[in-house]
Copies of this chain bind each other. A is one copy, B any other.
């Protein structure tokens, strides 16, 4: 028997629906449904009655529930026994991250963090705009930058991949010189425009990625954006252009003073894992190009 099935079972008992259980566990509701179905088949016993209201525990599930709670207690005790972390993995943890990156990459996985560290009160402070601010009274900062400030300690988890994106209808116009969409901070025409679209006019200047992406999707023009943001939009396409590589990366940082606190270490490790697990998105490996292909 896969003991982890009991963990899934317990969450579903408590939440009453595969959707809510999935959110708590940091997985999709389809995963919860499949895991519980497989668990029932393996045990040869139905544990839940299914309805649109959710999953109701059967008598068999009631019989197992207390044992499942015991396993959870033991699992938590194992967690605490590792490195004597017992007193430290509780309290408040503030994480700051760029708004779009947080929404695209971090937030969907935070259910898993809460599951793993139920005694940590997580607070996510987002910053808007591409040019990130210094950490504002946060324990952990996720930063998209070429070089973090000296007073923050951490490492570059992944390089930040950029691409130039446009809407299909814009890209299909043969001969037309598309317009470009820039950030407010870009006073001069950037290199990728001079190099690939000389003479292009600026359709829009914006101060955040969401607006930029929405503008690209609406066909206002082309923009150079990080892949983690643009590739999530299925209606925009990336141009297969040679770009000066970005020197920026995804950094997970904390104040030098805080790096040894257990909950900060746990928080950083978790953020690193979440970022690494979406490497294909961040590195642009999911980009869609015109003609339906993806990059090799």
Least Cβ–Cβ distance between A34 and chain B, in angstroms: 16
Closest chain B residue, CB of each to CB of A84: B63
Closest chain B residue, CB of each to CB of A47: B82
| Interface contact B82-A64, CB-CB below 8 Å | yes
Least Cβ–Cβ distance between A23 and chain B, in angstroms: 18
Q: Select one of B64, B75, B83, B269 contacting A3, CB under 8 A.
A: B75
Q: Select one of B4, B60, B81 contacting A82, CB under 8 A.
A: B60
Q: Does A142 contact B (CB under 8 A)?
A: no
| Interface contact B82-A77, CB-CB below 8 Å | no
| Interface contact A44-B83, CB-CB below 8 Å | yes
Q: Does A74 contact B (CB under 8 A)?
A: yes
Q: Does A271 contact B (CB under 8 A)?
A: no
| Number of this chain's copies in the complex | 2
Least Cβ–Cβ distance between A203 and chain B, in angstroms: 47
| Interface contact A44-B81, CB-CB below 8 Å | no
CB-CB < 8 A to A207: which residues of B? none
**Highest count of chain B CB atoms <10 Å: which of A44, A45, A78, A116:** A78
| Interface contact B44-A64, CB-CB below 8 Å | no
Q: Check A77/B67 contact, CB under 8 A, given A3-B3, A44-B269, A269-B44.
A: yes
Q: Select one of B1, B3, B44 contacting A6, CB under 8 A.
A: B3
Least Cβ–Cβ distance between A253 and chain B, in angstroms: 19
Least Cβ–Cβ distance between A42 and chain B, in angstroms: 8
Q: Does A259 contact B (CB under 8 A)?
A: no
Q: Check A63/B81 contact, CB under 8 A, given A2-B4, A3-B75, A71-B75.
A: yes
| Interface contact A79-B44, CB-CB below 8 Å | no
Beyond the given pairs A1-B116, A3-B3, A63-B81, 19 more chain A to chain B contacts, judged by CB atoms under 8 angstroms and listed by A's residue number, are: A1-B75, A1-B79, A2-B7, A3-B4, A3-B6, A3-B7, A3-B71, A4-B4, A4-B5, A6-B78, A45-B83, A60-B82, A60-B83, A64-B82, A67-B81, A71-B71, A71-B74, A71-B75, A74-B74
A-B CB proximity, top 9 nearest:
A4-B4, A3-B3, A3-B4, A43-B82, A71-B74, A67-B78, A70-B74, A45-B82, A2-B4
20 A-B pairs within 8 Å (CB atoms) are namely A2-B7, A3-B4, A3-B6, A3-B7, A3-B71, A4-B4, A43-B82, A44-B83, A44-B265, A45-B82, A45-B83, A63-B81, A64-B78, A67-B74, A67-B77, A67-B78, A67-B81, A70-B74, A71-B78, A74-B74
